[in-house]
Amino acid sequence: MNLRPFVYYLLLAEAFAVTTFGLGWWSVPLVAAAWGLASRSPRKAAFASLAALGGWASLLLLDVTRGPVATMGSQLAGVMHLPAFALYALTLIFPALLAWCAASLMPTVRKTAQDSTAVPATPA
C-alpha cells in the first residue's frame, strides 16, 4: 500500500493550517501556488483543494474544542439569514476554491516564466 499520497496530503493540509494560523487566510493561495509549482501530478489542483479544506477543517475542529462554535454558527447564520450548515460549508469551500484556483494557474505561470527566460533560437 502506497502511503505517500496520504503523507503528502497530511503535510500539505498541515502547511495550510500552520500558515493560516501564522500569517492569515491569504496564505492559502500562496501555499497552493507553491504546491502547484512543485507538484507534477495532473491532479495537483484537486489535491491542493482537498488539503486546504482539510487544513481549515482541522482548525475549525480545534475551535470546536475551545469554544461554543455551534452557538456562534447559529447566531451568525441568523445574522446572515442563512442556514447554519451553509456557513460551515462556506468556511470549508472558500479555502478549497482558493487553493484549487491558485494551484490550477501555476502551470500557466510556470510556462510563461519558462517562455520568457528561454534563449531565442538562432536564425539560420
Sites of contact with another protein (CB under 8 A): 17, 20-21, 24-26, 29, 45, 56, 59-60, 62-63, 66-69, 71-72, 74-80, 90-91, 94, 97-98, 100-102, 104-105, 107-108
What one-character DSSP code corresponds to residue 42?
T
User: What is the separation of C-alpha 56 from the centre of its chain, rounded to a whole number of angstroms?
Assistant: 9
- Shortest CB 103 distance to another protein, Å: 8
Choice between 71 and 116, CB closer to another protein: 71
| 35 touches 44 (CB < 8 A) | yes
Contacts made by residues 84-89, CB under 8 angstroms, sequence distance 24+: 88/60
How much is the CA Rg of the chain, to the nearest whole Å?
18
Choice between 72 and 124, CB closer to another protein: 72
Choice between 4 and 81, CB closer to another protein: 81
